Structure 1
Amino acid sequence: MRKNVIIIDDIKEQSEGLAKGLSKLLPDCSFEFYYKEPDILDAIENRFYSLAIIDIRMDTFSIDGIKLAERIFEVNPFAHVLIISAFKDEYFLRLKDLLLTGKVVDIQDKDSFNIWLPKLKETINNYYLKIEEDPSEINNALLQYYSEAKNEIDIYKKGEKFEHFMSLMFQSIGFNQVLKRVKDHSLNEVDLIIRNDINDNFISKFGKYILVECKNKPIEKINKNDFIIFQNKLKNTNGLAELGIIATTGYITKNTYTEAIRESGDTRKILFLSNPELEKLIKAENKLSTFKNLIDQQVKDN
């Protein structure tokens, strides 16, 4: 897993200073800092991070750090939080509930940077060492989200949960930013747009973005028309996206695969992720390698 850390504070100098200082001490980690409420909420929803460093008290916001931590736990099963504050006593009861989640790495008092940064470095190092020793937590979280998406009865929530699961899946593969429900210039709605920011020679061949169509209809199979409609969306990107993905909790009809083979001369490729492929990705220890193998098997040499 990529070591991406987001730092959340309502004071720019504090968040920026932490990011710069920790980047020097931990060059193998990526630190992003956010200090404006809209940017923080957007990052929590759309950025990939496995650890969030959060200040509790945010006097200029409509929300405090504990509420932000609770939202992180709702939308990101991979993330833990490191709480920082000079007001722990004031938030004691609510902090107690947060600790019961098991996802609070530590609660630390603010201090001068020369004293505080080494403590943060040690805490962050220990957190990532624990993940490397036992990656099963990530796979279990993905499996739980996948099961919930498939079993949801409400039609709207069913689609929403599957899109969120797929967003988490691609973040676990290593993609840093996944946007949901985006309309292109021709007003075609795309379920997910992935910024192709992985430093990998094979993946980078497929353009700046990857489009994903999510179909959470286990009973209905993906048919030829679904393929053609999505292929047109891919063409409308004017070369920005050379790879599209149709993901489904069901299966793909035979004539859809036939149509894909017929269109295999096109430079744009479409990968199918149905139940068998999704289960492989969920269980994989190296998800990027498994993802590349799936592309190899389906579209690389078409």
Structure 2
Amino acid sequence: MRNSVLVIDDVKEQAEGLSKALTGAISNCTFEPVFEEETIINAIENRFYNLAIVDLRMDGFSFDGIHVIKKIFEVNPFAKVLIVSAFKGEYFTKLKDLLLSGKVLDVLDKESYDIWIPKLKSVIELYFQKLDQDSSEINNALLQFYSETKNEKDTYLKGEKFEHFLSLVFQSIGFKQVLKRVIDGSKNEVDLIIRNDVADTFLGKFGKYILIECKNKPNEGVSKNDFIVFKSKIENSNGFAELGILATSGYIAKTTYIEAVRGSKDRNKIIFLSNIEIERLIRAENKLSEFKAIIDSQVKDN
């Protein structure tokens, strides 16, 4: 798993300066500065990160750092937060509940870089060292999120949560950009589009994008018709996507497998992720290797 850090501040120069300084101090992490309202919310909801460095005061914004942190905890079950601020006293009361969550690594004052960067470096490296040694915390968070997703009663929220869950899974595999609910030129809606930007020669053979169709139906099978409709979306992608993933919290109907075998000679491939494969990905120590193993097991037939 990549070590990816969002650096969130309302001041462009501070976000970019801190990102640059930390990039020079820590070699095995990616630091992404975000400093505009819309960009911050978009990054929180759609980008992969396992740590966010958040400034508390955000002058001129419609929200402050407290709101940002709560949003992170809401949408990313395995992200931790490192709070940095020169105004901790102003937010003391609001901070108490966040600190009790166990998801805040530390609260540090902003200082001159020669003093501040070593402190940040120590906290960040210790966190990622523990994460590398034991991935169970992330796996347990994904498993809990998956369970809640399957048990959701509201039909709309059920689909929305499943899509968000799968975006987290694929970001944890290593994909940086996941787009949700995209409507193409032919008015077809695709649940998720993944930019195939993982540095892997095997996955690189499957085109620039990977399309994902999400079916949160724990007690139902994915039908032959679901497969045919999704296959047409891949065929109409102008060659940008050669790999599709039909994901379900339930199972794949037998007639769907038969239909997949009929088109197994086609260049475009569709991989099935049923409940069994999803749980394999959640529990895997190396999620990229597990994902490729799932593809290997199906690519001849599908």
| TM-based fold match above 0.5 | yes
1:143 paired residue number: 143
Superposed counterparts of 1:6-155, under 5 Å? 6-155=6-155
Code of the aligned partner of 1:46? N
Code of the aligned partner of 1:41? I
Q: In the TM superposition, what whole-angstrom CA distance separates every residue of 1:126-162 from its partner, at most 9, and x where no partner exists?
A: 1101112221111111111111111111111111111
Task: Report whether the alignment pairs 1:164 with 2:172.
Answer: no
Q: In the TM superposition, what whole-angstrom CA distance separates every residue of 1:153-208 from its partner, at most 9, and x where no partner exists?
A: 11111111111111111111111111111111111001111111111111111111
Code of the aligned partner of 1:82? L
2:255 paired residue number: 255
Q: In the TM superposition, what whole-angstrom CA distance separates every residue of 1:189-243 from its partner, at most 9, and x where no partner exists?
A: 0111111111111111111111000001122211111111000001111111111
Report if aligned partners of 2:261, 2:301 keep a CA contact under 8 Å in 1: no
Code of the aligned partner of 1:76? N
Provide the C-alpha distance between the structure 1 equivalents of 2:219 and 2:229, rounded to a whole number of angstroms: 20
Q: Please report how far the alpha carbon of residue 301 of structure 1 lies from its aligned counterpart in structure 2 after TM superposition.
A: 7.4
- Give the % identical residues: 66
Provide the C-alpha distance between the structure 1 equivalents of 2:92 and 2:300, rounded to a whole number of angstroms: 55
Provide the C-alpha distance between the structure 2 equivalents of 1:54 and 1:218, rounded to a whole number of angstroms: 37
DSSP-derived class of the 1:48 partner: coil
Provide the C-alpha distance between the structure 2 equivalents of 1:194 and 1:284, rounded to a whole number of angstroms: 20
1:182 paired residue number: 182
Q: In the TM superposition, what whole-angstrom CA distance separates every residue of 1:254-276 from its partner, at most 9, and x where no partner exists?
A: 12111111111111100000011
Q: Please report how far the alpha carbon of residue 300 of structure 1 lies from its aligned counterpart in structure 2 after TM superposition.
A: 5.3
1:292 paired residue number: 292
DSSP-derived class of the 1:200 partner: coil
Is the alpha carbon distance of 1:38 and 1:300 closer, same or farther for their aligned partners in structure 2, counting shifts above 3 Å?
farther
Report if aligned partners of 2:152, 2:158 keep a CA contact under 8 Å in 1: yes
Code of the aligned partner of 1:289? S
Provide the C-alpha distance between the structure 2 equivalents of 1:185 and 1:114, rounded to a whole number of angstroms: 52
Report if aligned partners of 2:5, 2:29 keep a CA contact under 8 Å in 1: yes
Provide the C-alpha distance between the structure 2 equivalents of 1:23 and 1:240, rounded to a whole number of angstroms: 33
Over the residues paired in the alignment, what is the CA RMSD in angstroms? 1.0
DSSP-derived class of the 1:160 partner: helix
Report if aligned partners of 2:264, 2:300 keep a CA contact under 8 Å in 1: no
DSSP-derived class of the 1:185 partner: coil
Code of the aligned partner of 2:212? V
Q: Number of residues paired by the alignment?
A: 302
- Higher mean Cα deviation, 110-119 or 262-271? 110-119
DSSP-derived class of the 1:272 partner: strand
Code of the aligned partner of 2:92? F
Provide the C-alpha distance between the structure 1 equivalents of 2:78 and 2:209, rounded to a whole number of angstroms: 23
DSSP-derived class of the 1:199 partner: coil
1:219 paired residue number: 219
Code of the aligned partner of 1:244? G
Provide the C-alpha distance between the structure 2 equivalents of 1:176 and 1:34, rounded to a whole number of angstroms: 15
2:237 paired residue number: 237
Provide the C-alpha distance between the structure 2 equivalents of 1:264 and 1:176, rounded to a whole number of angstroms: 29
DSSP-derived class of the 2:115 partner: helix
- Higher mean Cα deviation, 12-21 or 129-138? 129-138
Report if aligned partners of 2:260, 2:301 keep a CA contact under 8 Å in 1: no
- Higher mean Cα deviation, 22-31 or 43-52? 22-31
DSSP-derived class of the 1:129 partner: helix
DSSP-derived class of the 1:63 partner: coil
Code of the aligned partner of 1:110? K
- Higher mean Cα deviation, 289-298 or 124-133? 124-133
Provide the C-alpha distance between the structure 1 equivalents of 2:5 and 2:168, rounded to a whole number of angstroms: 16
